[in-house]
Amino acid sequence: MSIISEDRLEELSGHEMSRYSRHLLLPEVGLGGQRRLKAARVLIAGTGGLGSPLALYLAAAGIGTLGLLDFDLVEESNLQRQILHSVKDIDRPKTASARDRVKDVNPALKVIVHNTRLTAKNALSVLKGYDVVADGTDNFPTRYLINDACVLLGIPLVYGSILQFEGQATVFDARRGPCYRCLHPAPPPPGLVPSCGEGGVMGALPGIIGAIQACEAIKLILGGGHGLTGRLLLFDAWEMRAREFSLDKDPNCPVCGEHPRITELIDYEEFCGLNRKEEAPVQSLTAVELRDRLDRREPLQIIDIREPHEQTLIRFENAKVVPFGQLVRRMDEFDPSVDAVFICKIGQRSLYAIRELRRAGYRGRMFNLAEGLNSWAREIDTGLTQY
C-alpha cells in the first residue's frame, strides 16, 4: 500500500506525461504511481556520498518535494564521490550546491533547504511533514537521532551506510518491522569504527548504495515491490558480491518495542559516549607546540594510532605505531614516566584513545595532537599530504 493518500494526488500536465513516459509505460508505476511521486515529500539527510545519487535520482523520478539537510561546506576531497558537487562549489554550503544541481535536473522540483545541524531540539520539527526520510549521514549519534525521530513520527526510514569497499542498505519502518536500534541496540565504542574520512571509501560505492536507497524510497511511495523492510542488504564492491540477512523486530527495543522506554529524543552525543561529562578534559598540543617540544629535545613518546594503510600516506618520524584497536592490550609498551602524544589523522580517534587508556588504568601524562596530522601538514611540514 502506498504511503501517499489519494486526496493529495494532482493531475499530470502534458509536459509531465512526456517527461515521465518511461515510468508511465511500467504497469507497476503508471499514471497513478507517477501522481504519487509528484505528491511525495522526501527528506535526504546528508548531501554527500549517499545523498548525491539519492537526490539526483529522486529529482529525476519526479518527486514533488525534496528536503536537503546538511551543514557542511564542499571540500576538494568530497569530489571523489559526491557527484552533486563540482570544483566551482568548493567552500559553498553543500545544501546550496545540491539545490542548484537538482533544480538543473528538474526545474519543477520544490526544494526545501535545511542548512543546519540536526539535533534533539530540532529533529522532530525538521522531519515532521515528510513522507520518507533517507539517511545519508556518516556518524552514529545522527543515525540514532534520525531513527528515533522517525519512529516517534511514524515515518519510514531508508537507511544506507558505506566504508571502504562495503555498503549496506535497508528500510526501517517501525510500523511494519524493525528499527535501527533493533539492528544496533548500542553504538560501538567511540573511535572503533573509522569514518570514510579516516578509513577511506571507493568513489563509486556510494553511487550503488545511494541508488538502492532511491529505489526503496520510490517503492515506498508507489506502494509496491519487495522492499528491504526486515532485510539487510550487504554489498562488497571489491569482491562484487551481495548478501542478505533477515532483520527481526526486537520486542524489547527501547524505542519501537512492546514497552518503549524512549518516548522523546535524548542526548545522542552522550548516548554514543562522545561527551562523557564525568571525565576530565583531555590535554592537547597544537602542531606548533609539539614542534617546539621536539626542537627542545624534550623526552616524548609519540604514539601513532592510525591503521597500517594510513601509514603509507603520511609517516611521522620516530613515532611508535600502535593501531587504535591494539592500544589497551599493548599499553605496557608505553613508559608512564614520559609524556605521550597520541596522533591520528584529525585528532578525533586519538582523543578517544586517551580516554580508553585512562579507563584501562594507564597513569602516564597523555596529550592529543589537536587536529591531528593534517594540522602538522598544514602548519609545520607543508610538503606532507593532507588526506
Q: Would you list the DSSP string of 184-240? A: -SSPPPTTSS--HHHH-B-TTHHHHHHHHHHHHHHHHHHT-S---BTEEEEEETTTT
At 285 the three-state DSSP class reads strand
Alpha helix ranges (H) inside 47-139: 51-61, 94-105, 123-127
Single-letter code of the amino acid located at 246: S
Is residue 385 within 8 Å of residue 373, measured between CB atoms? Answer: no
CA-closest candidate to residue 265, choices 171, 142, 140, 177: 142
Is residue 111 within 8 Å of residue 102, measured between CB atoms? Answer: yes
Q: How far apart are CA 140 and CA 268, in angstroms?
A: 8
C-alpha cell recorded at residue 267? 542526548
Query: Is 179 a catalytic site residue?
Result: no
With residue 42 as reference, give the H or E element that holds it.
Answer: strand 41-45
| Number of other residues whose CB lies within 10 A of the CB of residue 198 | 20
Which member of 150, 256, 272, 344 is catalytic?
344
Sign of the CA dihedral running 214, 215, 218, 220? negative
Which member of 150, 179, 196, 253 is catalytic?
196
SS percent in the chain: helix, strand, coil, step 5: 35, 20, 45
At 117 the three-state DSSP class reads coil
State the catalytic residues. 196, 344
